[in-house]
Structures are given as C-alpha cells and as structure tokens.
Structure 1
Amino acid sequence: MQPTCIVIVGPTAVGKTALAIRVAEQFQTSVISADSRQCFREMSIGVAKPSTEELARVHHYFINSHSIQQEVNAAVFEQYALQSVNQIFAHRPVAVMTGGTGLYVKAFCEGLDDIPPVSLEVREQISRQYEQQGLSWLQQQVAQLDPVYYSTGEIHNPQRLIRALEVKMATGQSIRTYQQGNKATRPFKIVKIGLDLPRPLLYENINRRVEIMMAQGLQEEVRSLLPWKHLNALQTVGYNELFDYFGGQKSLPEAVEAIKTNTRHYAKRQLTWFKKDVETQWFSPNNEQDVQEFCAAATR
C-alpha cells in the first residue's frame, strides 16, 4: 500500500475532530492537527481543543506542542507536519490530518511560496500600529501600498493583511509577486475530504459551541491570558472579544454575541478557501459510513 495521508478539512464546528478520530481508529493510526491555535498549551477552551478522552483514544501531533511565546506559522507547521507524517509512516501506511487552517493544510500538501524573510523590526512596527489604530488602518495601508493584494486577498483577515504589508515594506514588491503557485511534490499520496453542513445547522452548532465554551470557563481562561494579549497567538476569535470585555469596550453579553458573529464569519471564510480546491471530496459529517468507505477505497 502506498503511504497515504487522509486530510479532513471544513469550517469550524462542523465535526472534523470527531470524524478524524474515528477514521484514525479505522486505520489504527495517528492524527496531525492542522489548527494554528490548538498547538498552544496555554489555549484550550477557546480553540475547541480535543478533549482528554479524545486525545487518549488516538495520538495527536501538533496539540499542546508549543507555547504562545513561540512564533508558529505555516512554514513551522510544514516542517513539523512532514516530520510527523514520516514518523507515522514508519509504523502505519495511513496517517490522518485534520484542521481548519487553510494555509497550514496548503503548506503540508503543496509547500509554501519562497517569500524573502522580513525583519522583526518591520513586523513589530506594523503590529504596534495595528493594535493602536485597528483593522480599518490596516486595510487602508494595504489598499494604498499593495493594491494588487487588496483587490484579491482576504481584506478582513488582519493576519493576512499584516503579512501583505510587511512583505511590501521589506521587499518593495507585492506579496503576489512571490505567490507563483509552484507545488511541491510529496513522496506519499494525499486524499482530501471536506465536511460541510447546511448553513442553519452549521450556525446552530457554532452558537451552541460558544455557549458551551462560556459554561466551561472561557471567560476565566481569557482572563488568565490578559498579560499576553498582545501576542500574535491571541489575536483570535473568542479571545479578542473577551479582551474587549475586560477592557471595558463591550459588555459580557455583547462580547459573547460578537464571538458567535465573528465565528460564523470565520466559518464562511474557511469554506470559501476550501471549496476552491477541486481535489476535495465533500461529505456531510453525519455520513460517517460513506466517509469511511471512501477512505478505505482511496487507500487501497
């Protein structure tokens, strides 16, 4: 059997973790998380990390593997994931990856564009100004300095905008100059599965998950991270809104409602990203048997 990685993607709260664990059990293998926040030890409730019971059922890579003090990006993930999948293939012919961070999945499957390094000084300068002046300032700067990216990129995603701006400031070139789409060749087979639900059901899942997170102690988790709220790892839905509550900009009900709204917007962006990939086969998370039969056939 050719070594195969089954990659399960989809929007937040669609049921990726539960299904990935069952697929991993089907092949008696491990799961690599492709989530840009679940890797951080200090963040648990707000990033919907797999439960202790789920982690005990199947070994997971890239869960609790880093600290929020460390810089973790798509390039770091690519190297980590390639090392992890090789470890799995040393013992099992099939590996499972799941997560909703599209750029991390792309980095693993296709490699990354060769973008010149950006100095820490430039990065910190942009981050400081963004903290002081907000998203509208960031959008205005990118529109002015990199109109090519602004007309085609994710202009409501601050991390993507910061990246575009720092590349422009550091190199004088649009980030699109370096994004040529040259795919790396991997020495194993990749099978992509997408999970989706009708919007009303997905949004109901999202709203319910936020309520459960609050009941589990999300407010206390975010309070404990206040001294580090400036770190990139914490520029995250579920944390930003409660930081605003602690800072007096929002009431608690307003913060909770903002988490639900922003999570729904994030899910929509995730679907837009993943639906562009014609290699992905789409299923309802409720059709577990169909997914398992597809995986069995795809790995023969």
Structure 2
Amino acid sequence: MQDAETTFPPLIDKAYVLTGATASGKSSLGLDWAERVGGEILSLDSIAVYRDMDIGTAKPTADQIARVPHHLINLVDPAEEFSVACYMRAAHQAVNEICSRGKVPIFVGGTPMFLKGILRGFDPGPPADWEFRKSVERDVQEHGVEALRERLRQVDPLAEHRINTNDVRRMIRALEVSRATGVPISHRQIQFEKQVSPDQCNVNALMWPRDQLHARINERVEAMFQAGLVGEVQSLLDRPGGMSRTARQAVGYREVIEHLDGTIDLDTAKEQVAAHTRRLARRQETWFRSFKEIRHIEMSEGCDPEQALQQLQQR
C-alpha cells in the first residue's frame, strides 16, 4: 500500500477516454473503438470494481471480454472499501502494462471522480476518519446542509464555493482533510486544476437529449430487475461480511436493500432506482461540462453509431 501522501499524475497523455451518462451507449461504442485502434478497455466505474456486482453495473459479458480485454473490474469483494486512490493506483499499473504490449488504453465509464483523476491527477490526502464523518452527518441531520456549508466556509471558503450546494459527501471530506492535515483541501488540490486543450488529448463524452436518455435509463432499469437484480443483492448480503458502505450506497443496490429490509415494496424500489439513476445522469452531465478537456459527441435515437465512431477515430 502506498503512502497516503503519494500523488498520482494524470493519464490522458497515455490513454483515450470515452465517457457519458448512465445508459448512454458508451460500453458498446467503446468496444467498437477498441477493435478499430488495437485498444484494451479500462473500466471507469466505481462499482464495477466489486466482484459479483454484475447486473446493477452492466458489466461486460464473457463475449465482450473475449472481443476486447477489459481491466479494472472485479478487483475486490463487496465487503471491502475501495477509494479513488485505490483506483488510481490500479489504473496506472494497468495503463503501463497495456502500453508495454503496444496496445492503446481506453478508459470507458462515467464515474466523475475517477474521470477527474484520469484527466487531472489525484491527491489522496489522509485516510477516511469514519467517526468524524458520522459525527458530521449527525450534525447535518440535526441542523441541515446550510449549517454544514457555513462550517466549511469558515475552514475553506474556496472549497465551499466550488462544491455543489447539496454535495454533503464532498463537503464532509473537505472538513476531514483540513482537520487531519491543517491544510485546506483547496490548497492541496491546486496542481490538479490544470487543464489541457481538447486538441491535446482524446477525451470524449456521449451527450443525449434529456428525454431520450431518460427513456434509455428506464429501459435499462426494467431490464436489470428482469435479469435478477433482487436475487443478486440478496446473495451479496448473505455473504460473510456483507457489503461495504460504498457498495451498499450504489444506485440500484441501495434501493433493493431497502426493499429486502421491508422498507419499500418492489414497485417503489423500481421507481426509485429509475429516479435516482436519472438524477445521477444529470450530475454526470454537469461534471462533463465542467471538464474543458472533453469533446462532446451528440447522440440521438436512430443515429448511425458509425458516425460517432468516426468522430472518435478522427481525434
């Protein structure tokens, strides 16, 4: 395990990137792209790193893996925690191995914090202090998010300005880092705010009209339940150690856990998975627009995937 202070440089000088919101079609297009350019795919998904969390993450099938090698999936058991630092460590190793074989590393996925690490590099900072986090979360429940924002404003006004209004998790992390190190997280991350021109890299995001993307999400959610998502979650919970905090909070899994706990019925669970996935897609697209490195590829129903593929290959 590397020291918590180790920083990871960006990887876009060595790799291509294809991102997009959930259900945007990036996995299928990424396979075609990899075959055209002699590439290997690296998953850019924070939940696909967990073994046997397959249905809810739309992991590649055996046939897809036979077509193109895939990396950064099935790295740890669901009972384990997995951080951005863990991901960056594994990503750097995988990219170096792929390049040594003369292949092209292609990151495909939509987890924003993983994407930012690939584009800008990453400073892991101190390890998580779960007792401190629980204490702050209790304060948020009692006093509200605005009180949390004011607390962060006193400690790190730049971080308070940058973090989205309701992103409680990132605000707590900012407080945690300042408390543990004595240095505001915004000061530590200055070197990771540097951007390169989209002409200097090959980073792309698939962008869909909102109504069409929502329809695709609804179809995917229904397919996940038909494929046995409830049974998958039950089998994970029944294992020794169960599921980690991170694994349990994944969209699609946390709602099914509530259903299995008897908190909500199955129809409500489906509705919440779809609603939360649509909300996640909006947050993903907000992140994509904030990265100046990314070029957008406009998609729509009935469009020829070959046209999108040609745009990827022209860069």
The alpha carbon displacement at 1:173 in A equals 5.1
CA distance in 2, matches of 1:61, 1:140: 40
Counterpart selection for 1:117 from 126, 130, 133? 126
Report matched runs for 1:158-169 at 5 Å. 159-169=169-179
Q: Is 1:46–1:239's contact at 8 Å kept on the other side of the alignment? A: yes
CA distance in 1, matches of 2:40, 2:122: 24
The alpha carbon displacement at 1:297 in A equals 3.2
CA distance in 1, matches of 2:141, 2:72: 29
Partner of 1:97: 107
Q: Is 1:40–1:68's contact at 8 Å kept on the other side of the alignment? A: yes
Listed one character per residue, the Cα deviations across residues 37-67 of structure 1 (whole Å, up to 9, x for unaligned) are: 1011031111121222212211100111222
The runs of at least 4 aligned residues of structure 1 exceeding 6 Å deviation read 132-138
Say whether residues 1:272 and 2:281 are aligned partners.
no
Say whether residues 1:192 and 2:203 are aligned partners.
yes
Unaligned 5+ residue runs, structure 2? 1-12
CA separation of 1:214 and 1:156: change in aligned 2, threshold 3 A:
farther
CA distance in 2, matches of 1:262, 1:136: 24
CA separation of 1:138 and 1:252: change in aligned 2, threshold 3 A:
farther
Question: Equivalent residue of 2:263, what SS?
Answer: coil
The alpha carbon displacement at 1:185 in A equals 10
What amino acid sits opposite 1:117 in the alignment? P
CA separation of 1:47 and 1:77: change in aligned 2, threshold 3 A:
same
Q: Is 2:29–2:309's contact at 8 Å kept on the other side of the alignment? A: no
Q: Is 1:82–1:108's contact at 8 Å kept on the other side of the alignment? A: no
CA separation of 1:116 and 1:97: change in aligned 2, threshold 3 A:
closer
Q: Is 1:11–1:195's contact at 8 Å kept on the other side of the alignment? A: yes
CA separation of 1:142 and 1:284: change in aligned 2, threshold 3 A:
same
Say whether residues 1:289 and 2:306 are aligned partners.
yes
Report matched runs for 1:33-182 at 5 Å. 33-113=43-123, 116-118=125-127, 122-127=129-134, 130=137, 139=145, 142-147=148-153, 148=157, 149-157=159-167, 159-171=169-181, 174-182=184-192
CA separation of 1:172 and 1:96: change in aligned 2, threshold 3 A:
same
Q: Is 1:7–1:191's contact at 8 Å kept on the other side of the alignment? A: yes
Question: Equivalent residue of 1:7, what SS?
Answer: strand
Report matched runs for 1:164-243 at 5 Å. 164-171=174-181, 174-182=184-192, 190-226=201-237, 228-243=242-257
- Aligned Cα RMSD in Å? 2.8
CA distance in 2, matches of 1:38, 1:26: 24
Percent of residue pairs bearing the same amino acid type = 31
Counterpart selection for 1:258 from 247, 263, 272? 272
What amino acid sits opposite 2:149 in the alignment? A
Listed one character per residue, the Cα deviations across residues 161-199 of structure 1 (whole Å, up to 9, x for unaligned) are: 44234224434554333221436899xx74101101111
The alpha carbon displacement at 1:144 in A equals 4.0
Q: Is 2:255–2:272's contact at 8 Å kept on the other side of the alignment? A: yes
CA separation of 1:158 and 1:246: change in aligned 2, threshold 3 A:
farther
CA distance in 2, matches of 1:117, 1:221: 34
Unaligned 5+ residue runs, structure 1? none
CA distance in 2, matches of 1:156, 1:220: 32
CA separation of 1:116 and 1:190: change in aligned 2, threshold 3 A:
same
What amino acid sits opposite 1:126 in the alignment? R
Say whether residues 1:249 and 2:259 are aligned partners.
no
Question: Equivalent residue of 1:146, what SS?
Answer: helix
Across the two proteins, how many residue pairs are aligned to each other? Answer: 290
Partner of 1:7: 17
What amino acid sits opposite 1:273 in the alignment? W
CA distance in 1, matches of 2:272, 2:206: 25
